[in-house]
Amino acid sequence: MPNLTFEETLDNFSIHGHAVFSIHEVVGATGTIPADNIIRTDQQWHCHFHWHTLGGLNYLICGKWKLSVLLEKWGGEEFTLPNNEITVDFVNAPNTYNALISVPAGLVPAGAYKPVVIVTMEGPTGVPGPIAAFGEGSMMQFYDVGTGL
């Protein structure tokens, strides 16, 4: 799983442990999880986020985490992934966060893509906070399949 690289510029606050994200297709009928970097365009796929916060400052911070998935298309026309962002409430205590962005089938055109995820913290009034992260995944291929397959 690719790592999330965090920068936190606050004393008595840290991101601890293995902060990661993973991308995979939705589990097939066989119950197995297919390859995470080759996905049919007619299949739904997920991007999971996981990180853990520590430190006494957690009790004083409030706001939201903003999580985004970006896909950089290689060759051909540019592509912007719609509905690629979710928010997760900040928990006012040290906490383990698990979040999911689900991308519906048919949203990503066939092609080769480089995934990047972004995590930022926002205060309760929408002002960006001093905590940010990103992670870069391995190349992905989305491909079309003929009718009935």
Both tokens assigned to 84:
């690629």
Question: pLDDT tens digits, residue range 35-77?
Answer: 678 999 998 998 999 999 999 999 999 999 999 999 999 998 8
Taking only Cα atoms into account, the Rg of the chain, rounded to an integer number of angstroms, comes to 17
Give pLDDT tens digits for 90-111: 999 999 999 999 999 999 999 9
CA 5 to CA 49: how far, in whole Å? Answer: 12
Q: What is the CATH number of domain 5-21+38-143?
A: 2.60.40.10
- Of 4-13, 80-89, 112-121, least confident by mean pLDDT is 4-13
Q: Is the pLDDT of residue 32 over 70?
A: no
Residue 127 has pLDDT above 90, yes or no: yes
Per-position DSSP letters for the chain, written without gaps between them: -PBPEEEE--TT-EEEEEEEEEEEEPP-TTS----SSEEETTS-EEEEEEEEEESGGGGT--SEEEEEEEEEEESSS----TT-EEEEEPPSSSEEEEEEEEE-TT-SPSEEEEEEEEEEEE-TTS-EEEEEEEEE---EEEE---TT-
- Greatest mean pLDDT among 2-16, 23-37, 123-137 lies in 123-137
Average pLDDT over every residue of 134-148: 89
Cα 27 from chain centroid (whole Å): 18
